[in-house]
Amino acid sequence: MQIFPDSDVDMWGRVRTNKLLIVRSVDLLKSKDGQNRLEHHTDAYFSDKLIVRRGQTFQMWVEFSRPFNPKSDKLQLLLNNPGIRISVPLVDVLEDGRWEMKIVEQKDKRVRLAVNTLPTASIGRYRVTVESFSQRGRLLFPCTPNDIYMLFNPWCEDDPVFLDNEAERKEYVLNSMGRIYYGTEQQIGARTWNFAQFEQDILEACLFLLEKGQVAMTEWRDPVIVSRMVSALVNSNDDRGVLMGNWSDSFEGGTTPTTWSGSGDILRKYYKSSGKPVKFGQCWVYAGVTTSVLRCLGIPTRCVTNFSSAHDTDLSLTTDIYLDEKLELIKDETSDSVWNFHVWNECWMTRQDLPAGNGGWQVVDATPQELSQGSYRCGPTPVSAVRNGQVDLKFDTPFVFAEVNSDRIYWQKKPDGSLSQVHVEKNSIGQHISTKAVGSDARVDITHLYKYPEGSEEERIAVETASRFGSKPTLYPSPTVNDVSIEIVMDGAGPRIGGDAKLSIVLKNTSSKQRTASLLYEVMVMYYTGVLKDTVKKDRIPIDLKPQETKTIPWTLQYNEYMNHLVDQGALMLTVTGRVNQTKQILATQLNFRLRTPDLIITPLEDAVVGKELTVKITIQNPLSQVLKNVLFRIEGLGMQNYILVLSVSDVEKLATVTLMEKFVPTISGSQKLLASMDCRQLTQVHGFADIVVKPE
């Protein structure tokens, strides 16, 4: 590359008008109390590097050898790490979902840039280079050692780890102190743990750990893959990970697991020894360190303790105890065990790799118990799948299901080697599943998230459904016949928001005999990503079907039942389950539906002509019996480049109609679209468009 002298005059004394654009310095504005770190919630990290969360804009200053000329000069940012090269172009208007930057301030030879990052960017450390172009040439300015650290972003709605509750974000991402529960179900103890995720060297240690995972950095964008990696890397069993387990009576040469009170020392020792496993850990230590790593990387995480926790070694989905003819324990055949307590983690994310409804809390367990796809790791396992016995969903759902909801079955071995059941305990496994409360040190029992009430029909259905995927699928009596069908029917385009949601449950009895059942229905609010939020309504319906009868049961969810529960896009999930009394056939069906929102009606009031003012009427009726607050309208299109009109209107009264009259000047002839959308927390997913033919002048 040819470099020209940076001088204002040439050899004949003439003033240069096209000097080379040289980058003199770059300020990443990485101060802990500065705008970047505060807005990205990274001000608590000890590191003095720029630490940002993906899907959010950060700012930086660049100083040049002369004033930047937008007409003749160009600029782009290069972000690099192994296997990834990102070019960030300079644009006039930033758009969501793109790597872009724009100049937001210019002072003499300095420009301040706002840089847009993707909510799906790979996390990790990026080297930064500024590339400048002018008529005299192209120059690269490496910003070494000013690397940028990119993290997951629970504050960003487009990030799979988005958590919509600020108190929960503070607890599960920003809180560096926690409580871990231990003991027995009758005697629950608690210990305070220092997660230390913001302390010196911890962020560097966490990224060092990921580098040992032998997973391409392009995959570091996915919290499912990252959390699964971490569950393998926190134990040392097959990858020289962080902690060496020890469940013996001797801890010579290391630290007794009960001595640890935090993760910081463990992670620093591992990092500074270039990856030598730290001695020793047991389940609560693994869970504490996993919490530290995942919170440090930006994934909401908590420690969870399961009392009377089963360890199913043969994938039977039951805890099996074998007895001889004298009812004495056959020790060498009884490999399943029940732990007084076991500690694992839950982390929060959507599961776009699974059917809707399986996002939210996921079990991740770094304690090395069983191999999963050839490595000692476990999860992420959807807690919702565990609750419903959907053990065919990944990852490791059968193992986690058995930990919390397996039946303890006693088998007697007969002289001919065959086995018979002699006793079943249906409610001894998985007790007082506990985690720390949000915002306090109180213990919260979350057993209901993992299973239905012990002994209930729903809980039995979940256990028996799960067992059919296990290594002993005939353990429970299978239905002799499947002669009853069930489906949920929605008329037309479905219910509208603001009105009652009316569906139908249709049952068909194809047999020549009477069939009876008790149906349980539950309707839950759901994010569009599949994360379930709240139960809105739950009840039972008795069913009596005559031979060959088809019965349609009207089902209604009233507006006043759901109005205070809806989240973005008005999505709901209706689940109906039951068991036919005569045949033991299990009935189950689900329907995801949404409450349709009104359209914005856009009407041009005269012909559209290039260069002439066009008046457009935009109308919307509030369908809700409640006031809409903080309403914004965004209008764009019609060939108007880099132009978005944002209008704020006063509160919209219940059931009221709003009419906006706006004027635009079309600049391009031909068929154009004018787009409008409404932004309001109480009423989302409201938009409209109009096709407008613009005539030439």
DSSP class of residue 171? I
State how far the Cα of 144 lies from the Cα of 567, in Å rounded to an integer: 44
Q: Find out whether 407 is annotated in a ligand binding site.
A: yes
Closest to 536 measured CA to CA, from 505, 506, 560, 569: 560
Buried b vs exposed e over 205-225: b needs ≥16 C-beta within 10 Å? bbbbbbbbbebebeebbbbbb
The answer to whether the bond into 82 is cis (omega within 30° of 0) is no
Map residue 38 onto helix, strand or coil.
Answer: helix
How far the first Cα of the chain sits from its last, in Å, is: 49
Number of continuous H segments (helices) and E segments (strands) in the chain: 11, 40
Beta bridge partners of 328: none
Greatest alpha-carbon pair distance for the chain in Å reads: 111
How are beta strands 148-151 and 50-53 bridged, if at all?
A: parallel
Would you list the DSSP string of 286-307? Answer: HHHHHHHHHHHHT--EEEEEEE
Distance CA 378, CA 361 (A): 14
- Provide the token pair at 278: 């730290």
Cα-only R_g, the chain: 31
Alpha carbons 478 and 498: distance in angstroms, whole number: 44
Q: Which residues are catalytic?
A: 283, 342, 365
Closest listed residue to residue 362, CA positions, set 339, 328, 338, 386: 386
- Helix 223-233, helix 202-211: angle, nearest 10: 90
Give 372-423 as a 3 state SS string. ECCEECCCCEEHHHHHHCCCCCCCCHHHHHHHHHCCEEEEEECCCCCEEEEE
Q: What is the DSSP letter of 511?
A: S
549 Cβ neighbours under 8 A, 6+ residues apart? 508, 509
Question: In this structure, are residues 150 and 296 in contact, taking their beta carbons and an 8 Å threshold?
Answer: no
CA distance 399 to 73: 60
Residue 459 labelled as part of a binding site:
yes
Q: Would the annotation count 454 as a binding residue?
A: yes
Does 622 count as an annotated binding residue? Answer: no
Looking at the DSSP assignment, which residues form a beta bridge with residue 180?
Answer: 191
* Residue 283 near residue 344, CB atoms below 8 Å: yes
* Side-chain-facing half-sphere of 586: CA atoms under 13 Å: 19
Binding residues: 405, 407, 454, 459
User: Binding site for Ca(2+): residue ranges?
Assistant: 405, 407, 454, 459
